[in-house]
Amino acid sequence: MSKLCVTVTADTTADLRRKRDEVVGADLVELRLDTVRDPDVAGALAGRTTPVVVTCRPPWEGGRFTGSEEERKRILADALARGAEYVDVEWKANFTDLLSSTGGRRIVLSSHDFRGVPADLRERATAMRATGAEVVKLAAKTSRLSDCLPLLELGTKSKHDHTVLIGMGDCGLVTRVLAKKFGSLWTYAGDQHQIGQIAASDLLDRYRFRTLSDDTDVYGLVGRPIGHSVSPSMHNAAFAATHLDAVYLPFPAADADDVLTFVRAMGIKGASITIPFKVSLFDRMDEVYAVARRIGAINTMKLQNGRWIGGNTDAAAFLGPLRERVDLRGARVAVLGAGGAARAVAVALSSSDAQVTVYARNAAKAREVAMTASADAAALPPAPNSWDVLVNCTPVGMYPKSNDTPLDASLLTGQHVYDLVYNPTVTRLMRDAANAGCQTIGGLEMLVAQALEQFEWWTGTKPPAGVMREAALKRLAEFMRNENHVV
């Protein structure tokens, strides 16, 4: 089992101690003495109940210590003398006397590379280990998912060598969550977001860090940017509720090659696909299901007998909530927008025998989507009394521009309005439509339905009703709270 080390930073030693004592669920607390203006080792260590790693990082290794190297060495030596469980010493500092003072015991010899994964990673690890340091820590900036693979290779070969391997940056999250798989003795969590750290509570609760092992099945969301996606919350909640040994991570890939190299090396079982990879990965699958072929895009991939199969759960997920309310045969449906979602929606509707018209600000794109779905194309806005069902497939009305609407309230003359936007869960378009007497459907229903279909396709298991929806609502509420906090 890999351990969890929570990093704390503060302006003063007293604050550092207070924050140290507020940490819950950690095996170790890293005390960043370089962040306080009055570094006092005795004060930082006094009364601790959790083992600590004392770190006093210089700016040349990404830290904030402003004193001399001699002063820094005195602080680290003081921490060793006062019995700190671990002291982090930078490999490049060449503080060999600190290492020899304990015979390497309690020393975390660290190397941080902010330019990328060094080509000599393995040789570096060997040289660092040769110093006799108890723990060797290698952290390197990752810009592509596949940058994590040299770390995986090293960790797999040195599982019992007390190594800590960290991929810094968003692409390296997998090295933090799957620390055990990467052969790390421990991983770091905290609020150092600039290097890709996440909160300990996210690691423990969303990703169930304590339950993950080498055998855990790994799934994820491939896209970019995906920082605000609710999919990890939905799928991880479903894995927890069904007691499956599986985890779902964000995979902010650089390009399609990066995705395929990474998923093969990591043994990923399946992934959700979002912008900008829905078409580029479609072209790289071993097989694509018929609906996805008709749409021309995939939103899901699954490894089956060593082959990657592409599918698209958007069409069925879109139709589900609508079919419960409307008989689509012969219904006049106005689709607003001509992007990826409009394409899936138009194909789904025309395969249900609806009369579809695609309205978009770009006439050529509207025609192209209409052709894919054997539908008509027209210029925005749809005329009054020309539709029974209206579907918004543009992002208009999405947070933070929640007061925008794709269609003036005076034009809302039909029976049903379906807004694919799910943040906010009730949009201005939906409010206007309800006031005009229309039935409304929000994008959250489709969002949950497409995730449910993916989950069932990958695992053959149905999560309990409501689990994914509640997780999505909770994540959206968290997102709104954090955004408001920032504002």
Catalytic residue numbers, as ranges: 278
Name the residue nearer to ligand NAP (CB basis): 140 or 444.
Answer: 444
- Check binding of 322 to ligand NAP (CB under 6 A): no
Residue among 179, 360, 412, 438 that touches ligand NAP (CB under 6 A):
360
Residue 278 gets which letter from DSSP?
A: T
* CB distance 82 to 45 below 8 Å: yes
- Check binding of 362 to ligand NAP (CB under 6 A): yes
* CB distance 101 to 87 below 8 Å: no
Q: Which three-class secondary structure state does DSSP give residue 309?
A: strand
103-106 own/partner pairs: CB under 8 Å, 24+ apart: 103/132, 104/131, 104/132, 104/133, 104/134, 105/134, 106/80, 106/134
Write out the binding residues for ligand NAP, residues 415-434 only, by CB under 6 A: 420-422
Q: How far apart are CA 65 and CA 58, in angstroms?
A: 5
Residue recorded with tokens 């749409």: 295
Name the residue nearer to ligand NAP (CB basis): 117 or 446.
Answer: 446
Which runs of consecutive H residues, i.e. helices, occur in 60-214?
69-81, 96-102, 121-129, 149-157, 173-177, 200-201
Measured from the CB of residue 446, what is the shortest distance to ligand NAP in angstroms? Answer: 4
Site stretch for ligand NAP (CB under 6 A), options 31-39, 77-85, 182-190, 338-346 = 338-346
Residue among 323, 325, 361, 401 that touches ligand NAP (CB under 6 A):
361
Helix axes 443-459, 231-241, angle to 10 degrees: 50
What is the per-residue DSSP string for 38-64?
S--HHHHHTT--S-EEEE---GGGT--
The kind and range of the H/E element at 292 are helix 290-295
- Check binding of 339 to ligand NAP (CB under 6 A): yes
Measured from the CB of residue 342, what is the shortest distance to ligand NAP in angstroms? Answer: 6
Residue among 340, 382, 414, 463 that touches ligand NAP (CB under 6 A):
340
Write out the binding residues for ligand NAP, residues 109-148 only, by CB under 6 A: none
- Check binding of 342 to ligand NAP (CB under 6 A): yes
- Check binding of 319 to ligand NAP (CB under 6 A): no
Q: How far is CA 392 from CA 210, 226, 339, 450, in A?
A: 42, 22, 11, 17
Judged by CB under 6 A, how many residues of this single chain contact ligand NAP?
24
CB closest to ligand NAP, residue no: 339
- Check binding of 398 to ligand NAP (CB under 6 A): yes
- Check binding of 341 to ligand NAP (CB under 6 A): yes
Contact positions vs ligand NAP (CB under 6 A): 275, 314, 337-342, 360-362, 365, 393-396, 398, 420-422, 443, 446-447, 450
